[in-house]
């Protein structure tokens, strides 16, 4: 008699195998994703570090270029081989700003291009405020006849509404700071001829307020130093970003420009022209320097406008750190000062 085999189907082992395999696969995917994110973060951190190092390398090139230019321009006549304008990336072998100068021993950080212009056609003032800045507007050929002053708001963002939508279309009144609605500040500009004589300096200075004006056309303000024309308000021509005014009939000789931005900070660009409208080159205001530097495979380029001279003079007759008491009581026969 044959024996009977009883086979019992038990699949619990297979289920455990499938579940274990699934868990292993999921954990592997998680580990791979985490590793990929870690490598990405490491690369981004390295790029940020290299970007900072490239920026510092470019700043070093700017400082060396300033020293090189000032050392050479201090000599009369200018040294043979010195370039007033360098508009290419050619290496200056044997100088402090050789394009490979300043590199480390492993050739990781270096300047790849250095350019400059000691006679720029534009003067740039960044973040101008109500404290004001003074800059020379003398030109290389002493042929300045017109100054075009353009400015925009420091905090300007590209938008479809534009920055002058709330600027007035007319009027010469100055509103309180708390209710000034225009998104671009007002510039106070003074043309100061340097004559060496106090009386002629006072009589020849021309001051004008340049105001953003919604819907305005090009405006040209003639330089007129007469007492009856001081402090006039001139409406500027504006697009959605920038406002500009041209001042004509500038006096000959050495001229300085005092600029202040009222209500809001402004970035200002100054251009000069001859009587025929030909752009001029400024000789004493600024030096334009353009530098590119490399740190490993990261490139950083910076362009700066460096003052040639220092005109850190106050724009006020009286200035105090803790305020000035200006109370004054005037009577028909006398006056009193109630200030402590």
* Tens place of pLDDT per residue across the chain (340 aa): 555 566 556 666 677 777 788 888 888 888 888 888 888 888 888 888 888 888 888 888 898 888 888 888 888 888 887 888 888 887 765 555 554 445 555 567 788 888 999 999 999 999 998 888 889 898 888 788 889 999 998 887 655 455 566 676 666 667 777 777 788 888 999 888 876 677 767 777 888 888 887 655 555 666 666 666 677 888 888 877 888 888 888 887 788 899 999 888 999 999 999 988 899 999 888 999 999 988 888 888 999 998 887 665 555 666 666 667 766 676 667 777 766 6
pLDDT score of 100 = 42
pLDDT score of 68 = 87
Question: CA 42, CA 54: separation in Å to the nearest integer?
Answer: 18
81: left (phi over 0), alpha (psi -120 to 50) or beta: left
Q: Cα 65–88–283 angle (5° rounding)?
A: 55
**Residue (of 101, 105, 134, 140) closest to 121 by Cα position:** 140
Q: What is the dihedral of CA 79, 81, 87, 93, to 10 degrees?
A: -110
pTM (predicted TM-score): 0.74
Asked if 257 contacts 137 with a C-beta cutoff of 8 angstroms, the reply is yes
pLDDT score of 214 = 62
pLDDT score of 54 = 87
**Lookup: tokens for 99:** 């394009």
Residue with tokens 């090009």: 218
Question: CA 329, CA 134: separation in Å to the nearest integer?
Answer: 35
Residue with tokens 């200035």: 319
List of residues 6+ apart from 189 with CB closer than 8 A: 149, 207, 208, 209, 210, 247, 257, 258, 259
**Residue (of 139, 243, 138) closest to 182 by Cα position:** 243
DSSP strand pairing (232-235 vs 206-211): parallel
- Please give the DSSP secondary-structure letter assigned to residue 126: E
Q: Which H or E element spans position 61?
A: helix 12-73
Q: Cα 283–277–252 angle (5° rounding)?
A: 50
Largest CA distance in the chain: 149
Question: CA 249, CA 225: separation in Å to the nearest integer?
Answer: 11
Q: Which H or E element spans position 219?
A: none
Question: CA 250, CA 192: separation in Å to the nearest integer?
Answer: 10
pLDDT score of 187 = 92
């Amino acid at each position: 008699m044959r024996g009977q085999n009883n086979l019992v189907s038990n699949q619990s082992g297979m289920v455990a195998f499938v579940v274990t395999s699934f868990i292993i696969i999921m954990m592997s995917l998680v580990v791979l994703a985490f590793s990929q994110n870690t490598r990405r973060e490491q690369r981004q951190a390295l790029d940020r570090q290299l970007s900072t190092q490239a920026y510092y390398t470019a700043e070093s090139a700017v400082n060396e270029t300033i020293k090189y230019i000032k050392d050479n321009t201090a000599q009369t006549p200018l040294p043979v081989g010195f370039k007033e304008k360098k508009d290419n990336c050619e290496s200056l072998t044997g100088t402090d700003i050789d394009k490979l100068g300043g590199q480390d021993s492993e050739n990781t950080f270096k300047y790849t291009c250095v350019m400059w212009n000691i006679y720029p056609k534009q003067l740039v003032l960044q973040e101008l405020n109500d404290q004001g800045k003074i800059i020379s507007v003398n030109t290389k050929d002493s042929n300045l006849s017109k100054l075009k002053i353009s400015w925009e708001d420091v905090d300007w963002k590209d938008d479809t509404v534009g920055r002058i939508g709330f600027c007035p279309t007319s009027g010469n009144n100055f509103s309180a700071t708390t209710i000034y609605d225009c998104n671009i500040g007002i510039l106070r500009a003074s043309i100061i001829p340097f004559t060496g004589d106090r009386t002629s300096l006072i009589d020849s200075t021309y001051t004008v307020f340049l105001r953003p004006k919604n819907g305005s056309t090009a405006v040209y303000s003639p330089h007129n130093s007469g007492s009856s024309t001081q402090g006039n308000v001139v409406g500027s021509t504006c697009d959605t970003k920038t406002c500009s005014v041209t001042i004509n009939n500038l006096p000959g000789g050495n001229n300085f420009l005092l600029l202040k931005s009222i209500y809001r900070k402004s970035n200002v660009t100054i251009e000069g022209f001859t009587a025929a409208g030909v752009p001029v080159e400024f000789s004493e205001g600024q030096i334009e320097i353009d530098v590119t530097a490399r740190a490993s495979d990261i490139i950083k380029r910076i362009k700066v406008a460096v003052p040639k001279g220092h005109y850190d003079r106050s724009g006020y007759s009286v200035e105090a750190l803790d305020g000035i008491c200006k109370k004054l009581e005037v009577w028909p026969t006398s006056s009193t000062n109630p200030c402590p």
